[in-house]
Structure 1
Amino acid sequence: MALAPGKLRALTRLSDAEGFFRMVAVDQRPPIRNRIREVMGEEAVTWERIGQVKATLLKHLQPHASAMLLDPGYALPHAHRLLDPAKGLLVTLERFEFETRAGGGRITATYPGWTPAHIKRLGADGVKLMLFYRPDAPAEVNAAQQDFVRMVGRACREQEIAFLLEPLVYPLDQDPAGAGAYVEDPAKRPELVIETVREFAKPEYGIDIFKLETPIAAATVPAPEEESSAVADTQAWFGRIDSLLDRPWVMLSAGAGMEPFRRVLTYAFRAGASGYLAGRAIWWEAFKAWPDQARFEAALAEGGVGYMHRINAAVREHAMPWWKRPAFAAGLEMEPGGEGFVERYPSA
């Protein structure tokens, strides 16, 4: 399969030299705002304070990542001078706030006027879209979400920028007032995750990288080192995800703790995942030391970075380089390429 020049360049920049995605998310908004509110009160939840937290995360974790994911509201404008030009950059498209429809379905919203063209123009390598999605949600809600993903996919193709989709199962009966920060739905069924992947694996959506949640609630994932029927069953669910995808996929952490996420990664890498895009599993424990900035930074430097070293070693040992995915079985080529590239490369 051939890739447009910009898409090929983007995937190369988001991954490391071995073809693995070791990506860290600092685009979280509600969890950081909520923590500041709990510790210091509502008046302390300011743009500057949130930005300082994100800048600290970027400073300590970026050296050990292949790419960073930043939101445009806080992280990007506050911490842009800390960005390492040798690292890939993903930027968030969606707002966390969403529209709730009758029956509990959620409709994704973007920042007003914010598009993949803006993200490409500022120099990013990829667009990240978090999409609340359930196959059993009201049909009109799912149709709207599908149309939205198609629109983003078309825009990313036009801009030749990588499109990373993060579909998340959510509880239909949750009060929107209680959905201020995404947490994994402990009652989700693995079939919901599988059917979501099946839908968005269709070429019409134009997705380059899938950022996926575990089909089994992270807290219940058995230790992969055990020999049991539960381990075999869990691995089978991850295998079903891989069988539906020809493009690269990575795991998200969804607020899972360090050990549960390590277990999830082991199953994912065995199945064929090409890395991770994780945030809170890496840095949340350290963030508990905030607002003591010195303790926060020390905890990041020791616990957060130490954890990244461990999961990065697992990536190198067990994950699949993205260019070995079935979509690229015939070789990785640029389209158009070769002699006559100038004449055949389409104008904007």
Structure 2
Amino acid sequence: MAKKTITRGKFDKLQQLSNKNGVIAALAIDQRGSMKKMMKAADDKAGAEYSLDQIYKFKELVSKELTKYASSILTDEELGFKAMTAKDPNSGLILSYEKTGYDVTTVGRFPELLHEESMTRLAAKGADAAKVLVYYNPHDKPEINNIKHAFVERLANEARGADLPLFLEIVTYDDEIPDAKSYEYAKAKPSLVLDAMKEFTKSKYGVDVIKAEVPVNWAFVEGHTADGVKAAYTEEEAAKYFKEMNDIVDRPFIYLSAGVSAQTFREELTFAGEAGNKFNGILCGRATWRDGIQVFADGGEEALTKWLETTGKGNVEELNAILDKYAKPWYEWYGGLDNINVVDPVVTD
């Protein structure tokens, strides 16, 4: 097998983001708009006064306590600047590069980068990778997707120039099925997720790690539905979708938790592993720390710290145990460490 080439910077940084097994066991706390909503709702329930300082402190404490058990953390600089410095020194750092949300008045959900940032600036701030979220419907109008394709191509060139790994988060949607929790959307989801991954695994996009959705809605898998809920797929069908991902992609991919509960995310990952899915890790956010928001609103820093030292730690360690059993090292897609040719990046004046 011919050796595959990767630049020194990207190789070293991907290793920094991974655990000893080459698996990306990462914590995500880059939520911005949704974090403000969650904290405000928790404060209203607790009868507390909401402030941005609460979010700064929450992200700081989550980072400080939970990166002791995570290989890396994804955060933002806007609300997570304290999390950047509070993390365990052995834990890698991924920084968000996109603006939060999208323009709801424009059809297409187009991505937009932070105007004051660049890959070079993120690297100078200590980032081991840049993460960019793209909302994507692979079956959307060509004039919409062509813009998104060009956007990612430009990102890849910028990442090469900074010698910084690019993590592309793909969140699918279908404007014709607005309720993403419906049976109709559950039926459409496998095609949306698999076709989106098939597109962005192409070499022209230069994506180093795909941050992917689970290809099914777990609440509609037969045997795992709530009482009275019609299943959208059997377990055999769900397993087939997970297996298809192995044939579609040719680069590392990790799963996002997408706001599901810790228990549900563990079930999804275990099912994926038992189905033979070759995922390379996770970027898990709310499934790890969401319940801590109300703890913080009710009891303050001391209560949150105790919760993170117990329940939060337990959430991370339970996920780590699943990763140890099922996740594959990122470099397996390169044929293993012995098959990687690490080179210096090309520098131009």
Which band: TM-score by shorter chain? 0.7 to 0.9
Measured after TM superposition, the shift of residue 207 of structure 1 is: 0.6
State whether structure 2 residue 244 is matched by structure 1 residue 236: no
- Deviation of 1:173 (Å): 5.3
Provide, for residues 78-132 of structure 1, a one-character-per-residue CA deviation record: whole Å limited to 9, x for no partner. Answer: 2333132321110001111312465x42101122232212211212110001110
2:203 corresponding residue in structure 1: 203
Deviations 1:164-194 (A, max 9, x none): 111001241588xx9xxxx877715210111
Q: Which has the higher contact order (CA 8 A, sep 6+)?
A: 2
Aligned pairs (5 A) from 1:72-221: 72-76=77-81, 78-100=82-104, 104-172=107-175, 187-188=185-186, 189=188, 190-221=190-221
Q: Report the RMSD for the aligned CA atoms in angstroms.
A: 2.6
Which residue in 1 is equivalent to 2:328?
320
- 1:24 pairs with one of 22, 27, 40: 27
| C-alpha separation in 2, matches of 1:137 and 1:217 | 21
**Is residue 307 from structure 1 mapped to residue 312 from structure 2 by the alignment?**
no
Is the contact made by 1:170 and 1:185 (CA closer than 8 Å) also made in structure 2? no
CA distance in 1, matches of 2:254, 2:292: 23
Query: Is the CA contact 2:94–2:130 (under 8 Å) kept in the aligned structure 1?
Result: yes
- 1:288 maps to 294
Distance 2:176 2:33 in 1: 20
> Following TM superposition, by how much is the alpha carbon of 1:221 offset from its aligned partner in structure 2, in angstroms?
4.0
Q: Which residue is equivalent to 1:340?
A: none
- Shift, 1:295, TM fit: 3.0
Q: Deviations over 1:37-93 (max 9, x none)?
A: 22436x9554322111111111221100000101011112x2333132321110001
Aligned position for 1:60:
65
| Amino acid across the alignment from 1:290 | F
Give the alignment's TM-score, normalised by structure 2: 0.86
Cross-structure match for 2:343: 335
- Over the matched positions of the two proteins, sequence identity in percent amounts to 25
Relative to structure 1, is the Cα distance of residues 311 and 211 closer, same or farther in structure 2, using a 3 angstrom cutoff? same
Counterpart amino acid of residue 325 in structure 1: W
| Residue identity opposite 1:322 in structure 2 | W
Q: Determine the structure 1 residue equivalent to 2:230.
A: none
In structure 2, the gaps of 5 or more residues are 225-232
Runs of 5+ in structure 1 lacking a partner?
337-343
Deviation at 1:7, TM superposition (A): 0.7
Quickly say closer, same or farther: Cα 1:82–1:185, change in 2 above 3 A.
farther
Q: 1:34 to 1:100 in 2, by over 3 A?
A: closer
1:230 to partner: Cα distance: 2.2
| CA contact 2:129–2:166 (8 Å) conserved in 1 | yes
Alignment size in residue pairs? 329
Offset from partner CA, 1:196-222 (integer Å, 9 cap, x none):
001001001111111110110132346
Whether contact under 8 Å (2:33, 2:101) holds in the other structure is no
With over 3 angstroms needed to count, the CA separation of the structure-2 counterparts of 1:161 and 1:286, relative to structure 1, is same
